Amino acid sequence: MVVKVVSRSGLHTGQNLLEITTMPLSLAEMRRSYTRDGLQDDLAIDDPLALFRQWMQQARETESAPVEANSMALATVDSAGRPHCRILLLKGFSDEGFTFFGHYQSDKGLQLASNPCAAMTFFWPGLERQVRIEGQVSRLDPQLSDAYFDSRPLASRLGALASPQSRPVASRAALESLLAETEQHLVGQTLPRPEHWGGYCLHPERLEFWQGRADRLHDRLDYRLQNGVWQRNRLAP
């Protein structure tokens, strides 16, 4: 099967819109059947954070490399309204929210500073599950960021100190030179957490739990925080 792909700006005089480029639809043929248990309404719990805790624990027990159970896609929006997305690792969660860390002056950090609304998505293929989370993001207390930074491997701490994240660098060699200079400058010293690096907490206002089902009739349970109380609805797939 093929499809014609064309932009009108690329048409020459007399060319037919459907005569430009062909592209195999091999990706369109890719699909899998979901066969695991579903989400039953009568068994669903009222607290989405408790359900997330269950699902995360099951993912940790069942997912295997290269899948990381705590990996997630984090979506942010910049000051011009353009969306951005990247993969990060969740480093903690509680009733307060979901914790991750990064460079405050990176693109991600600047976007969160101008628009603290964000979304994260977890996908666990072995369990045929997905969780979407939306909410407001705030910076963690500096003491919590200090504690996590001190727990990181030495190489990771040096990288956080040396790397001007999201800024252009001349080459890989230039980046490695920055790391070597930082390491030499701080040899024998305790590595302090740099002010430009620390943690964030996404405070959830919405969670959606997705469970793959046969024939694309997937289960979707949607939780929304309204006046301090979680309200649950089932969404059509």
Residue 32: both structure tokens together: 């899998």
In this structure, how many other beta carbons lie within 10 angstroms of the beta carbon of residue 115? 15
Residue 140's nearest CA partner among 175, 104, 178 is 104
**Which domains does the chain possess?**
1-30 (no CATH), 39-234 (2.30.110.10)
- pLDDT tens digits, 132-184: 999 999 999 999 999 999 999 888 888 888 888 888 888 998 888 888 888 77
Residue with tokens 């739990």: 209
- Model pTM? 0.82
What is the rounded distance in angstroms from the CA atom of residue 25 to the CA atom of residue 3? 7
- pLDDT tens digits, 3-57: 444 455 555 555 554 444 565 667 777 777 787 888 888 888 999 999 999 999 9
Contact 118, 102 (CB under 8 A): no
What is the rounded distance in angstroms from the CA atom of residue 115 to the CA atom of residue 167? 20
